[in-house]
Amino acid sequence: MNNKIKFNVLDFCIILFAFLVILSVIFWNDIRVKFMYNETIAEYTFVATGLTEEEVASIKKDDKLIFSNDGLDAGKLLSFESEKEVSTIVLVNGDTISYDAETYTIRGKVSAKGRIKENGFFISDEHFTVAGKKFNVETSTVKFEMEISDIKYEE
């Protein structure tokens, strides 16, 4: 009895396709960064509002910014200044309770991998303003999400 394995072109194509799908799943993040993003470093100014005192106190120069939607490294904080705001918060749960809460606004400059545009990714060498983007900030003591607005490309 002769037990030869028959192997034709269609079988080869199916195996090759499956192999490529597996490789693309494994290396998707690397492929996405390499071919879909321009990695040019650019500087942007930004404004972040509604931060707590603990969050502002933990922020230092060179802290890392992370895109909250995909976890990719967005860049680092170059400089910032903060200002305190007092806002009235009203809670309605049967009764109305109002009290003043202190929040902080920071204005600063970020060095980023040149890829901010309207959908939240960075792109370099364009002059634009976008708003409403969220970054995760990783400091040495605290991690928090920061919504930034008034992002401007620095010439």
Q: CB burial class (10 A; 0-12, 13-18, 19+) of residue 38?
A: middle
Contact by Cβ (8 Å): 150, 132: no
44-66 pLDDT, tens per residue?
A: 666 777 777 777 777 777 766 66
In this prediction, residue 127 carries a pLDDT of 35
How much is the pTM?
Answer: 0.44
125, pLDDT greater than 60: no
In this prediction, residue 120 carries a pLDDT of 44
How high is the mean pLDDT of the chain?
64
What's the chain's length in residues? Answer: 155
Band of pLDDT at residue 131, cut at 50, 70 and 90: very low
In this prediction, residue 12 carries a pLDDT of 87
Contact by Cβ (8 Å): 48, 65: no
Candidates 43, 47, 108, 113; CA nearest to 79 is 108
C-alpha 47/C-alpha 106 separation (Å) is 6
